[in-house]
Amino acid sequence: MTVNSDFKDRLAAGQKMLGVFVKTPQPIVIEILGQSGLDFMVIDAEHAPFDRQAIDTAMIAGRAAGCPIIVRVPKGDPETLLGVLDSGAAGVMVPHVCSVAQAEDLARAVRYGPGGRGFAGTTRAADYARRGLQEHFDQTTREVSLICQIEDPEGYDARAGIAAVEGVDALFVGRADLSVSYGFRDFFAPETAERCREVLGLAGAATGLYCAPGEDITPWQQAGGSLFVIGSDHTLMTRGVAQMRETVFGSPDSTKGPIS
């Protein structure tokens, strides 16, 4: 059992798991968060400055802390997926998955087999050649999770088919993009909430979504969700300082209070 296979098992079992987005390419941040009791972290390579070197370093810190790391890739091309998985990621979160065909291509790209992931036996994922070829093939099946983001009308319409694709482990609602894609400017729009509930209630794959810090996730759990990303390292820092300032000065506003 590895931390990556444990994450995949818990995902398949529908166990409630809590993670955060990480937007700072600094291994100490990864190490601190990894030791804080989180179930997983998501490196946000879509919206933050994580190149392949930064992702690789993040994996070392994640392993040191014993915390599985998912990488939200900027795009789902085979080359990007290969580099992330060779670095030892527990899986990939792919944005804007809009069709069954796209999900099938992704499922093929993250696993070994005809037309799939290229093999290298000396990577971190292969335990630096300590695994034989067949062992690594078998372990990869047990360790790598594919999470497809639903954040477009096309993806929402194809949600049941995407969830049913063999090799898709979870659907994750990109609530902000989903709202915007339907013309809303409200993260909490009732129409978006209803669409979220419909995705979370799907069979065939685990489901989850991003929640704002402090948001009550009970309705989303009742709808069927189990994979929750709440905030990021950035929001944890800004909210932490605001709370500290409110405790000290009675105001969370950094522009108020005594000048030192």
What does the alpha-carbon distance between residue 21 and residue 257 come to, in Å, rounded to a whole number? Answer: 31
Q: Are 169 and 154 in contact (CB under 8 A)?
A: no
Task: State the burial class of residue 176 (Cβ atoms within 10 Å of its Cβ: 0-12, 13-18, 19+).
Answer: middle
Q: State the pTM of this model.
A: 0.94
DSSP state of 215: -
Query: Is the model's pLDDT at 258 over the cut of 80?
Result: no
What does the alpha-carbon distance between residue 88 and residue 79 come to, in Å, rounded to a whole number? Answer: 15
CB atoms within 10 A of CB 217: 16
Q: Write out the catalytic residue numbers.
A: 47
Which pLDDT tens digit goes with each residue over 186-204? 989 999 999 999 999 999 9
Which pLDDT tens digit goes with each residue over 116-134? 999 888 999 989 989 888 8
For residue 260, what pLDDT is reported? 34
* Pick among 3.30.360.10, 3.30.1490.20, 3.20.20.60, 2.60.40.1120: CATH of 3-231: 3.20.20.60
Which pLDDT tens digit goes with each residue over 226-250? 999 999 999 999 999 999 999 999 8
Q: What angle do CA 72, 73, 78 make, to 5 degrees?
A: 135
60 Cβ neighbours under 8 A, 6+ residues apart: 27
Strand partners, 71: 43, 92
pLDDT band at 256 (very low <50, low <70, confident <90, very high): very low
What does the alpha-carbon distance between residue 185 and residue 187 come to, in Å, rounded to a whole number? Answer: 7
Which pLDDT tens digit goes with each residue over 35-64? 999 999 999 999 999 999 999 999 999 999
Give mean pLDDT, residues 28-33: 96
Query: Is the model's pLDDT at 257 over the cut of 70?
Result: no
> Please, how many CA atoms are within 13 Å of residue 54, restricted to the half-sphere of its CB?
16
For residue 254, what pLDDT is reported? 52
